[in-house]
Amino acid sequence: MKSYEQYLKEAGNVHLAYYLEAADELGIEYTVLVPSLIAKFSYNGKHWFIINTVTPLTTSPSTTISKRKNLTNLVLLQAGLPIPKQESLGSAIDAIKFFNKYKDIVIKPAQQLGGIGITLLPENEKQVIEAYNNALENTHAKGNIKVLGEEFIKGENYRLLVVGNEVIGIVWRKAPTVMGDGKSTIQELIDAKNKDRKILVLKPISIDSEVETRLKNQGLTLDSVPKKDQEIVLRFNCNLTTGGTTEECSSIVDPYYKELAVKAVKELDMELGGVDIIAKDITKKDTCCINEINYNPGLRLHYKADKGERVKVAIPIMKYIRDKYINSK
């Protein structure tokens, strides 16, 4: 069996590499047609393609709905599923009005990747305007709705990976942190942690206005020296792409959240989806909301979990696709 590093070199893409590894484990033939982009998989006279993280388990309409957060919100609202209150923001004035209405808010692009352009909990109108401009600059949306205001929901963030009628992996997504040693500045602690993340093929903890705001709320700056064993939370969001970590937690999750995730994916007419749920207590049925549904969920959250069992989620995904094609006429 090849090592993951060998698959990574062959695939040229961290996500595609997991699918190549799963194909070998399941006896599925594959050819990397364009490194870092596309691979062809074959089994029993049938074939399919995976492009980066995109599998044949999501239709074009579902992809569009998932990409456009306002459409996702609309579909889930009509289905009676728990979602945060959301409004489209056509200008900075709209953003200020939304802020004055809800106070604790999120401003984000209507379409984006990796958490870029999102601002959580702006504290005043000046920050709201900056947040709106940041979202507008980073939106991928082509239509009239480019920026969204969303009610900030307090709780922990979880990613539930759904294939068909089953949740195959659940991770607790945690904001990036550093641990004080009593002598290093926060900047030095971040630099040291980023070296470790580079070895793990993870993107570094990025330092931006959100980090500075989060530190300011704790009475700290990048030059502060935390006490030994003092944990410092660096961001509000927990994206792996901006320095977050994950912990596998399937065994403690109440079935209610699994059922919610499966229903949400089905409402978007998808067979594969990564459902982001914010919950106060994942161990029992409680207040929660569906924050987002990803049509092309990255797999690193599950393979690179800092704690808990690392679930090889690409295997059940590939098995599902294989069986789907075998049973097709």
Q: Hey, is 41 helix, strand or coil? A: strand
Coil vs helix vs strand at 34: strand
Give the pLDDT band (50/70/90) at residue 308: confident
User: What pLDDT score does 283 carry?
Assistant: 96
Q: Is 165 exposed, middle or buried (0-12, 13-18, 19+ CB in 10 A)?
A: exposed
Distance of alpha carbon 176 from alpha carbon 230, whole angstroms: 14
Q: What pLDDT does 214 receive? A: 87
CA distance 199 to 27: 30
Fill in the DSSP letter of residue 153.
P
- Whether the CB-CB separation of 248 and 302 falls below 8 Å is answered with yes
pLDDT digits (tens, 9 = 90+) for 268-283: 999 999 999 999 999 9
Note the pLDDT tens digit of each residue in 108-137. Answer: 998 877 678 888 889 899 999 999 999 999
pLDDT tens digits for 131-186?
Answer: 999 999 999 888 889 999 999 988 999 999 999 999 999 999 999 999 999 999 99
Residues paired with residue 53 on neighbouring β-strands, in sequence order: none
**What 3 state SS string does 62-100 have?**
HHHHHHCHHHHHHHHHHCCCCCCCEEECCCHHHHHHHHH
Look at 88 and 213; give whichever has higher pLDDT: 88
Residue with tokens 């957060």: 69
pTM over 0.85: yes
Dihedral (CA of 51, 54, 58, 59) sign:
negative
d(CA 254, CA 313): 20
Lowest mean per-residue pLDDT among 77-86, 255-264, 276-285, 303-312: 303-312
Q: Is 107 exposed, middle or buried (0-12, 13-18, 19+ CB in 10 A)?
A: buried
The answer to whether 296 touches 16, Cβ cutoff 8 Å, is no
The pLDDT value given to residue 208: 84
CB-count exposure of residue 195 (10 Å: 0-12, 13-18, 19+): exposed
d(CA 311, CA 169): 7
Interstrand relation of 86-88 and 105-109 (parallel, antiparallel or unpaired): unpaired
pLDDT for 114: 67
Q: Which two tokens stand for residue 221?
A: 């700056």
**Is residue 29 over pLDDT 80?**
yes
How many Å apart are CA 246 and CA 31, to the nearest integer?
A: 31
Predicted confidence (pLDDT) at residue 329 exceeds the cutoff of 70: no
Report yes or no: 258 and 318 within 8 Å, Cβ to Cβ: no
CA–CA separation, 171 and 253 (whole Å) = 10
* Mean pLDDT within 279-291: 94
> Quick one: residue 179, left, alpha or beta (phi over 0 = left, psi -120 to 50 = alpha)?
beta
The span from the CA of 83 to the CA of 181, in Å, is 40
- pLDDT band, very low/low/confident/very high, at 24 (cuts 50, 70, 90): very high
Instruction: Catalogue all structural domains in the chain, each as residue range(s) with its CATH number.
Output: 85-152 (3.30.1490.20), 179-235 (no CATH)
